[in-house]
Structure 1
Amino acid sequence: MPGCFGWWPPKGPPKTKRVEELATPSTAMYAIEGGKALAEALQNVSDLIPLPFLSSFVSVGLKVLEACQEATAIEENVKNLQQRVYDMMLVVVNNSTVPVNEKTSAELRRRIWELRSLLAEILADLAKIKEQRRWLLVFFRDLNKARVDTCVVRLTIALEEFQLASQLRIEASQLRVEDLLSKIKAEHASLLPQLDRIEDAVKQFSQPHKAASRREDMRLLPPIFHGRDALVQKIALLLAAQGTSRVCITGAGGMGKTSVAVAVTESTIINNIFPKEYIFWVPCITAKSSDLLRRILYTQLRITAETYDSLDPLIAELDASKQPRLLLLDNFETPWLSGPDPLEVGHILRRLAALPHIALLLTMTSGVTPEGIKWEHVPLPALEPAAARDVFKNTYRDATGGLELAATETQLDNVLESIGHMPLAITLMATCGGHLGASPDDLLVDWRKAGTEMLSGGGKGRLSMDDTIGLSMERGVNSDPNAHRLLAVLSMLPAGTTGENLLKWWAPTIHTSTHAAVETLRTAALIEQDHGPFLASRIFVRPTIQSYMAHQDRISGPVRDQVHHACYEFIMRHRSIPDDNRFKSNLDALASEETNIQGLLMEIPVDAPRPNAVDALIAFSVYQSWTKPSVVVASHALEVARAVYRNPHVTDRDAAARCVAAAHQSLGRSLFILDRYDEARTHFEEAAARYRDLPGGPDPHRVGEASMQLVRTWTYIGTADLHSLVTEAHANLASDPNDRYHVARGLLGSGLSAAKEIFETLQNDCPASTAECLYYMARTHTFHADAHATATALPIAQAALAKAEQSGETGLIGHAAGLVARCLVVLGSYEEAEKATERSLEASQALGSPLRIARGLELLAYSCAGRFDLPGSRVAYQGARGQFTKIRETLLGREGVERCSSNLALTEGLTVMELDQSVFSRLEKPSAIY
């Protein structure tokens, strides 16, 4: 298959290689896999070769490799550079071991000295990159790529010249490099021949927020895996070629599609093209809609964005890097065939497939794949008899604790033929037989008693997965109502749950026998449980079993109602505000079940929601606005609330109207956090109006809170009469003088000291509102922009940050930390300012707000300039400008772009030595609003 690896980025002059050659790691691949131990072994070998400069050359090369290891924030380029250095060291050491005459030796010494000088220059370049602040590398590694690319080009040219000069000797001894590597590995076994791979860049700020969903690791191959080697090789070769890199593995549930796909990702062919860090596991079993599929893609691919509601940021980041990536989308039938919006799911897949350097590997039960993509379909057959026997015997032995199966090959073949040689069916039957000590004949009798239904899938002698699972359930599950009910409950929780939450929330009615039910299901191989104590371990249903339970009404109406009720109760029990001391622990609790909760909430029908569904939807959307705003959930909450309010049969009109107002307010908050101020304003205005016109009379406190949010929104838009809005908000919040909490909330716009005193006297001391008071008090001092006022503001801002941390409200933490950083910059404490800026940026990235990120980066840029760090300042200004550009339709966005552009122009062409106090004083200061 010529050209099979044509899309692999070249590492030198184009060369044509056969697949068979590339399936075996090359010299360079061995060098990479040898890692630091192999490089140090080269150092030892070079010390034994009596050639001047050789040991010094290898020593400098090692330093370059170490520098590459530290500069991981620009990973693809550094990997390429590191490979070039490995190549050069191997070639030079190899040529140095060949006997030469005196004239040739002098020429070789000269060339080695030139290469050493080149490595020293490159080491200096890497040192300059390393000097940049960690934040600059993490956020803007692309801006350093040109420098690294230049190093790679220089090394490539030098290596080609060296090889050309030594061509005759290389041709005569081309096998000596391989021999040398073998010798090194043999003689230096004590150096631990572990693979020392370069890790992914520490991109903590390009990671999706933990509340979005829990990132899942690539599945492991089952301990017993036989009979698929040829198929794995075939799929790997298809993925290796760009023209056939869209592969879909299809087959019935339980045929082992996931195991085969995982084996493909571990094959030598695939690992030679896609480094481990560029192979991504995308479990689609929990993706019951296109929205959940997008969120899972962001999480698994370690890409962050302002919101998960659009695929554009993910596509843009994948497109920006041409590094080949392999995406394994497992159980794709869930979003594609079972979700409510298959057209949108197909659109997502087509956008991924449009990127030529992205290889796609799907597993699904059906061969009906999304149109517009040229798929290579690989139907997964049943196991061959010999492999099926091995799987059954090994599984049976494990289930019995080490006893071998006592049966003839014919007896075993009869059972295997009756269940169609399906891997999961074999596993289930062998596990069941092992636990019971049953013989193959006994198992065959049981299967025959099940009747013709057991042969309903795949023709004579073949069983469907439903039949196989049904038989497994007959082994104790169907006769145990608690186990059957527990399996139904767990099948509705795609992310699984902890033993503690299972007992307390999801299955409290079977509390007295939950452990026995879990053991029954585990024995039947219907569920899995992580290692560790029961309460802390995660219990989940295998994907094929979940699919089995989800169809043909195998989950009863009462169980569905119970799980949905538990979901709503869980949300409402963990609903709190940032002034509540339980707020932080409630956030953690909701985050632990977020995938399950969102999946259940999005199932709520618009026309006939269950009791308490609307309240739960609104409460959960408010929670997401505090963690990672999602307009999808908030919009669904508003749609359901409106439908309930319009229903003429609803008797409590006041409660229904309150839900619509609250849904508007929640959606407005999410839009505000995402810097969509005009849209947020409309929903805050609608919320305030509806709270005024409630059927049971106005709710002034709610009107006041919505008005306060409207004030903040207009502050960013910049055109409203804020005085009248603040007055109205204060009047509504203070309407009941006996409600001291709301009276103090009303003073946030005009009487900060009085508000602070009230909050501090209330129970729980209201950490969020107190932090808000302190924040605004400190900010009023910073408006004077002089050192004395700023010195007064600093301790107040630091106290605000401490209170914000106590509350746990992410947005407030970001604001307070940003204000602390601004005070420190004005006072000239740039090192301390950068630490505070890092905290502010952490919170801003968690929320996904471009404005907040832009402000933090602009402040970082100004701080770098104050330390006369010109490269760092430029990189941060460029990043800040990019974030401001995202919200250029707002006044703050346009002003931010202009400031950053002006400061970049001022420093353009300057050297580090030319950046002095006179230049720094002419830089435009960051925006005063925090």
Structure 2
Amino acid sequence: MGKTSLARAALHHTDTCTKFEHRFFVSAEAATTAVELAALIGLHLGLEPGKDLTRPVVQYFARQTGLCLLILDNLETPWEPILSRGGVENFLSLLADVEHLALMITMRGSERPGQVLWTPPFLHPLQPLSDEASQQVFEAITDNSHVSKETTQLLAFTENMPLAVDLMAHLVDHEGIDNVLTCWKAEKTAALSTGHHRTSNLDTSIALSYSSPRIAHGARELLRLLSILPDGLSDAELTKSSFPISDIQFCKSILIATSLAYKDTKSRLRSLVPIREHIQQFSPLSEALVQAIRKSFHHLLALYQKQHGTHLGRIFTRITANLANLEEVLQRGLHPGSPDLSETIQCVLSLNSFSWITRDHQTALLDNIPFSLCDH
């Protein structure tokens, strides 16, 4: 989301340069323990290599006379594993005890290390850019201030993730907007993954979060489920669901803590488009889980049909909140080999009835029903 860029901007800001006599920026992603983290910092400080530089690093900062700023970038790598977390937090607490040392960290997710008295107010995880800001970034990179339908469509694919916007704009600047649009439709996030580093490869950046030690099996299954649900899921749908995911509320908390999912303005659990596309490509949902969500939608539309198409009450609200979900999940069941094809087609007809009543047009799913069916 641009954590490193934001930290570097803070490091070089004139106010920071004026206040802090000594400033250090250390990338912590190569460290896996507190000892390795201390070694990386010691390397930046010019200390002699040693078996454990934890104390020498702390002593170095304690000896300085002017104010010091230490930025530890991507600290989640050594902090996330349970076995190394305690040691990292102890090391951070020693650094925080140095009175004239300011400590700044960047991490993926919304959690922060304990044993440190962090300065309030606590900053919330970085959010996507606004539409206007994304457009400004796009214009600054492509030198094109003309807002077109194609530009709006490309930026919609990024859901205003800073890294995705940046990579998309550079690709457009090099390849042209029509070529990039065609490429995205065919390759999805692979189109923005030409490099090998997290700052130049969208898939690499997302994969780093997905491979976090905090992401248990159930959380991965829930993220896979969200990858085919553009509208996300409400708390009620999570609680009352029959999805084969154990402790689903805990899994939700993990995804929010690692910023792989978020609560939208309607309190629905969702995942951003680039993350959903990445998961569909590299860790797709099992057919059993697809069938589970499809059956729940079949039941919802059957209730709607039973009430003779009335658009009143909770059923209307639930269908409205899940329109994009319904279209995505039903579309996946519209193929001749689907085990519940007839039921899916009946649901498409029910959804079409709902669409005529509420939006005065038919659903595009009608055009996707296969013509060659055994069950005429």
TM-score (norm 2): 0.48
**Greater C-alpha radius of gyration:** 1
* Bigger relative contact order (CA 8 A; separation at least 6): 2
Q: Which has the higher helix share?
A: 1
TM-score (norm 1): 0.21
